[in-house]
Amino acid sequence: MTASALLGALLIGLTLGLLGSGGSILTVPVLVYLLHQPEKLAIAGSLAIVGGIALFALLPYARERRVEWRSVAWFGVPGMTGTWLGADLSHAVPGAVLLAVFALVMLAAAWSMWRGGFAPSAAAPPAPRAAWKVVGDGFAVGLLTGFVGVGGGFLIVPALVLLGGLPMSRAVGTSLAIIVLNALSGLLGHRLQLAGQGLALDWSVIGAFIAVGGIGSLLGHRVASRLPQAALKRGFALFLVAMAVFILWRTLPGVLAATPA
């Protein structure tokens, strides 16, 4: 493990603790470009890392009773099904194409964070979304999670607030619980596929990332209330755009090679 990789793990945890989202979107680039793991192995490993760090980050929210467990059930359980399916589908796609899709997801996350439209207007709080629609939302987010290895917090938090009617104070903790469930399901799905390809996860790397990232998530939670969230989200959005452009530049030759003539 290099110092830069451990610093990346700390940043992943800090972001999850501060924003309840975004940290997982850093994990795949760190594993691919700093530890030189194959794309599909990095996507599977990222789910193990994100799930473990999210569990650390979840603990203080659960202690403070800021997790809406009903939403975890309605959103998270269908998400586990979607994540398993997404993991299965991802192994039929070339690794370079997966990374390119991942970069597009980063751009979508950056746009969402830049707009900062997570919180509804105080004058017009959103009506709770119908249960079957919440189930569909959860499945769709899970599908994306399994396919490209992101926790999906940047989608889950606004969905819980704007569509599920949760206050922001409970949406972050609830998002972390859902990320844990989705990551577990996606990891199990990917492991079956990796075993068939003769690939195995490096649990020493995963353990080190979870330990360092877990500490970062707890630190992030402690300072979250003292920092301007809007400025943090916009700064992180700019960073995501830069990372997405870099990934697209690096993967373009592989995408073109995988495209039928």
Residue 84 has pLDDT above 90, yes or no: no
Prediction pTM value: 0.77
Phi/psi-derived region of residue 150, left when phi > 0, alpha when psi is between -120 and 50, beta in every other case: beta
Residue 131: count other Cβ atoms within 10 Å of its Cβ. 10
Residue-wise pLDDT for 1-45, tens only, equals 678 888 888 888 887 777 766 666 788 888 888 888 888 888 888
Task: Report CA torsion sign: 217, 57, 24, 90.
Answer: positive
Kindly tell me if the per-residue pLDDT of 176 is higher than 80: yes
**How many whole angstroms separate alpha carbon 31 and alpha carbon 25?**
11
Task: Using alpha carbons, select from 12, 15, 16 the residue that is nearest to residue 29.
Answer: 12
